[in-house]
Amino acid sequence: MNTPQRVEHAMTDKGYVPLYATGIVEQPWESYTPEDHETWSILYRRQRDLLKDRACREFLVAQDAMGMGEALIPRFDVLIEVLQKATGWTLIGVEGLLPELDFFEHLANRRFPVTWWIRRPEQIDYIAEPDLFHDLFGHVPLLMNPVFADYMAAYGRGGVKAHAVGPDALVNLTRLYWYTVEFGLIREPEGLRIYGAGIVSSAGESKYCLESAAPNRIGFDLKRIMRTRYRIDSYQKTYFVIDDFAQLFDATRPDFRPYYSELAPLESFPAGSVQAADRVFNRGTGEGWLSGGDV
């Protein structure tokens, strides 16, 4: 097998763009340096501390059950044993972002692609592309949850379908992934909590999404999400809030093809807009859903 590569943004004739990798690689665990393990430890400790009263119960319980530790970068083969028994999911090592259809097909077959390399020390607070910390710490724990595990596989099958429908359908479907899997919030008895991988792997956004007065927090609405643009270069302007994972699974059960046709002629909503039908859970509503008692 060739040596696994690290594939990320690069300067090309089209500017600074993300590059796509296709190779499936064995995690080269022996090649991690003491500095790599230290990066994992720093990030792991910082996020666990921030997340203990910010992440949803399901995430924290699942992460503990998986046996990810803070001392060393986890070994995929050890995690896979636990994960496969729990929900039938497995992990595959990849060098970077995959082409869309490859990604969907892996998910549909319960294989989650995890970037094998970890960010450099100077990228601790921000990196543009998914690395091992984002993929493993952020995405993998919830694959232990049976309802979320089924949702992710269904999303993969939906992706293969949307790919056949065309680019507009893919835009709609990708927004759903963005606003749930990456940046979703959930209502728990104690208040709003985080489940999105893009948030749980970011120190800044873990605080911002719950505590800042700036973003909108809007009740989950499938077609509303499919029409809403998103930001990739800053914290989100809007977060969508689910009641529980069953709501997500049930709402996404129908065939989306009629939805794609219905949405095709409609304008998209700007990332930060509030629509008349939105159920807004912002700070200051007195609903008591935010943590910290400073509503």
Nearest to 55 by CA among 187, 200, 190, 167: 200
158 binds, among Fe ion, ligand PHE, none (CB under 5 to 8 A by kind): ligand PHE
Asked whether position 171 contacts ligand PHE by CB under 6 A, the answer is no
Asked whether position 252 contacts ligand PHE by CB under 6 A, the answer is yes
Encoded one letter per residue, x for contact with ligand PHE by CB under 6 A and - for no contact, window 61-90 reads: ------------------------------
Q: How far is the CB of 78 from ligand PHE (least distance, A)?
A: 29
Q: How far is the CB of 196 from Fe ion (least distance, A)?
A: 9
Kindly tell me which of 176 and 197 has the beta carbon lying closer to Fe ion.
Answer: 197
Kindly tell me which of 145 and 260 has the beta carbon lying closer to Fe ion.
Answer: 145
52 binds, among Fe ion, ligand PHE, none (CB under 5 to 8 A by kind): none
Which amino acid is residue 41, in one-letter code?
S
Kindly tell me which of 236 and 263 has the beta carbon lying closer to Fe ion.
Answer: 236
Q: How far is the CB of 248 from ligand PHE (least distance, A)?
A: 8
**Dihedral (C-alpha) 20, 23, 28, 34: value to the nearest 10 degrees?**
0
Encoded one letter per residue, x for contact with ligand PHE by CB under 6 A and - for no contact, window 210-249 reads: ----------------------------------------
Q: How far is the CB of 169 from ligand PHE (least distance, A)?
A: 8
13 binds, among Fe ion, ligand PHE, none (CB under 5 to 8 A by kind): none
- How big is the site for ligand PHE, counted in residues (CB under 6 A)? 12
51 Cβ contact list (under 8 Å, min separation 6): 59, 60, 194, 200, 206
The rounded distance, in Å, linking the Cα atoms of 150 and 156 is: 10
Residues facing residue 217 across a β-bridge: 239
In the set 30, 255, 267, 294, which binds ligand PHE (CB under 6 A)?
A: 255
Instruction: Please say whether the beta carbons of 5 and 21 come within 8 A.
Output: yes
Q: Alpha helix locations (H) across the chain?
A: 34-51, 57-66, 76-87, 100-108, 132, 146-165, 167-177, 197-200, 203-211, 222-226, 245-251, 257-263
Instruction: Please say whether the beta carbons of 186 and 55 come within 8 A.
Output: no
Asked whether position 161 contacts ligand PHE by CB under 6 A, the answer is yes
Kindly tell me which of 255 and 294 has the beta carbon lying closer to ligand PHE.
Answer: 255
Encoded one letter per residue, x for contact with ligand PHE by CB under 6 A and - for no contact, window 121-160 reads: ------------------------------x--xx-xx--
143 Cβ contact list (under 8 Å, min separation 6): 62, 83, 87, 89, 112, 149, 152
203 binds, among Fe ion, ligand PHE, none (CB under 5 to 8 A by kind): none
Q: How far is the CB of 112 from ligand PHE (least distance, A)?
A: 15
158-164 LR contacts (CB < 8 Å, sep 24+): 158/104, 158/252, 158/256, 159/100, 159/101, 159/103, 159/104, 159/107, 159/108, 160/101, 160/104, 160/105, 160/108, 161/256, 161/257, 162/256, 162/260, 163/100, 163/101, 163/104
Binding site for ligand PHE (CB under 6 A): 151, 154-155, 157-158, 161, 176, 252-256
